[in-house]
Structure 1
Amino acid sequence: MKQIARECGVAISTVSRALNGSTSIRPEVREQIVATAQRLGYRPNNAARALRSRSSRTVGVVLPDMLNTFYAKCTAILQDQFEAQGYGIRLAVTGNSVDREREALARLESERIDGLVIVPTARRWQDHIRGVPAVQMNRHTKSARADIVQSDEAYGARELISHLLNLGHRRIAVLIGDKNFSTTQDRMLGVRDAYDSSDAFAGPTRVLFGTHSRSWGAQAFDDLWTAGERPTAIFAAGSEIALGVLHRTREMGVSIPEDISLVCFGDPEWFLVSDPPLTTFEQPVREVGMIAAQLLLGRMGADEAADASHVRVSGRVIVRESTTAPPE
């Protein structure tokens, strides 16, 4: 700014007002300053602005990974919503690591973000970023005092398991994520509800807890297929798990759905074009992202002191060719 002031023969305060859109400067002077700034490649120092104004006009978005299409799509929706209100986003990916989450939150706090959307890994994540309005998206922890918006995971799991039970399946294996995450707990609640409301016996044949990864999905299928009594259907709680299962069935010559039925959570585009197309619970990605942004914008505005809310958004089951009655 000093260099611009020298070249234009004006005070630094005049440069500042011109670059901030002030109308109190003669138009020809403002045009000269703006043109000089563009020629010199001027960029505002957002860190300095944040120190002066106590606002960076930035929102932090903390996610476990970007391979999951649910989180990738939510991020695009959040960016659109926040940019429309004049906020940029700073993205951090934790890989479900508590240490990486803590470091990301400390860094975002030091950058004076105005708000936070987080898919939490640690139970006490809020200890690492104080005084920042926050919304928990899809996952949540009971220890945090923050708004929650999520797809109705219990409903989705209940409907998928009920679909399999109605087809006649009784040997159903559940491949699901980390048992400490709220999404896993909600989905297991839905699995139990499906059995409780049916005339089937106590519950699924096997429940395997693991990671939302292709490699774990493949390993879990190996464990199931080499066991004494093979399942007739699999509930895969994520698209990466389902991809691992599909990879192993192809390698082993196992046919879906003739040998085993498969239902999944989420609905990336490849579900529709896989062979066969997969029966799934389509999560309401757009609605979750939109509501998360609206809740946080409200918190950063006049609603900062309002009671925390918990919003569940229903998705829908899409029945495709990956499920049929169990083999004889």
Structure 2
Amino acid sequence: MKRTTIVDVGRLAGVSAKTVSRVLNDEPHVSPAVKQRVREAADALDYHPNVFAQALVRRKSNMIGLIYENPSPSYVVELQRGVLERLTGERYKLVVIPIRSVQDHAGEVVGMLRSAALDGVVLAPPASDNPIILNQLKDARILCARIAPTRLIDMAPSNLIDDVAAAREIADYVIGLGHREIAIIRGDPTHASTEARMLGYTQAFYKADIELRLERIEPGLFTFDSGLAAARDIFARGDRPTAILAQNDDMAVGAMMAAREFGLSIPDDVSVVGFDDSEMSRITWPRLTTVRQPVFEMAIAATEMLIAQLEGRDVTARITHPHELLIRESAAPPRSLG
């Protein structure tokens, strides 16, 4: 089949191809009646303009990127849902750019954005904290907005929660239940939130005069499998803890699976808590006590920040979103106190 062109649209609408181009590129000085005829003709012919050709004409692609690394499927879905929610009814389209390791490929990110001719980008962790990416974006004059950064907050418009306070609150809750023998599963060391949450836990332990035992701190990667492996190591040792603080929900659910492998009941034998309030935390049993990080709302707000910059409007430099401790069934007082 012959591909429909703007010449065909113009012929049906009774205008020149140049006028069709002006209408489709939202240029001024075209009457509403002509705009309507052109759009009706384009619909009738099922004509869709070439976005790359439009980008050459306007020097804008009307495409924005979303860069993320986080391996948690629930987290990624919330990111994408939030960006797409804000783009509803807008002319901008979303290009999703997953990166296996931001730390290993930070120097290549801006080159990818340039090659894709994107107008701007939303950065999710850990890209939102990476100084190489942030500096190269600034040098390339590519606009950005950030989700959940914990460093260099004033370098670009940012949406965040207080990770330290959130982690301290959930640790305080577990300690308040009576737990003193507590293990920790850390997140990915390349994510700044890992250290922020560790600081929150440390503050809670210090306030309660509980020793932070290094042998009870296990490494993880924010994945289910890493949580499972870390908890297996924890339970294989003789001095089993009565509670586990996992730095995200995927690792917490992995820890719950390991507990069952060792014949342990949750929360009777061991309490497990997470972080994020992912879908996984709500459908596992028992349901997971966790901290709600409003990823969906943060993604909406970051996209609004980016659009405002693209349109030359005033931009809020920083929004601190509230977190929420969600008390469910996976944590209870230790059996000796129950």
TM-score of the pair, normalised by structure 2? 0.83
- Once the two structures are TM-superposed, the CA of residue 251 in structure 1 deviates from its matched residue by 2.6
Match of 2:147 among 137, 141, 149: 137
- Contact 2:241/2:270 (8 A) holds in 1: yes
Query: Once the 2 structures are TM-superposed, how far is the Cα of residue 262 of structure 1 from its aligned partner?
Result: 0.5
- Distance, in Å, in 1 between the alignment partners of 2:231 and 2:269 is 13
| Structure 1 residues 291-302: aligned runs within 5 Å | 291-302=301-312
Contact 2:150–2:192 (Cα < 8 Å) also in 1: yes
Distance 2:265 2:113 in 1: 48
Match of residue 312 from structure 1: 320
| Aligned residues of 1:173 and 1:204 also touching (Cα < 8 A) | no
Structure 2 residue 328 is matched with structure 1 residue 323 = no
Equivalences for 1:1-328 in 2 at 5 Å? 1=5, 3-4=7-8, 8=12, 11-19=16-24, 24=30, 31=37, 34=39, 37-38=42-43, 40-65=45-70, 67-99=72-104, 102-119=107-124, 120-121=126-127, 122-129=130-137, 130-142=140-152, 145-202=155-212, 206-302=216-312, 309-328=317-336
Q: 8 Å contact 1:92–1:104 — kept in the other structure?
A: no
Deviation at 1:10, TM superposition (A): 5.4
Q: Deviations over 1:184-215 (max 9, x none)?
A: 11101111111232243356762222201111
**Higher share in helix:** 2
CA contact (8 A) 2:250 2:280 kept: no
Q: Which structure 1 segments of 5+ residues have no match?
A: none
User: How far apart, CA to CA, are the structure 1 residues paired with 2:93 and 2:228?
Assistant: 39
Change in Cα spacing, 1:323 to 1:107, as seen in structure 2 (3 Å) is same
| Secondary structure of residue in 2 paired with 1:289 | helix
RMSD: 3.0
CA distance, structure 2, for counterparts of residue 221 and residue 191 of structure 1? 18
Percent identity reads 27
> Can you list the C-alpha shifts for 1:247-305, whole angstroms capped at 9, x where unaligned?
2222332111111111110112342342212111111234322332232233324367x
Instruction: Report if the CA contact (8 A) 1:238-1:265 is conserved.
Output: yes
Quote the Cα distance in structure 1 between the aligned partners of 2:74 and 2:325: 17
Q: Does the CA-based 8 Å contact 1:47-1:111 persist in structure 2?
A: no
The normalised TM-score by structure 1 is 0.85
- 1:131 positional shift: 0.5
Matching residue's letter, 2:17: I
Is 2:184–2:218's contact at 8 Å kept on the other side of the alignment?
yes
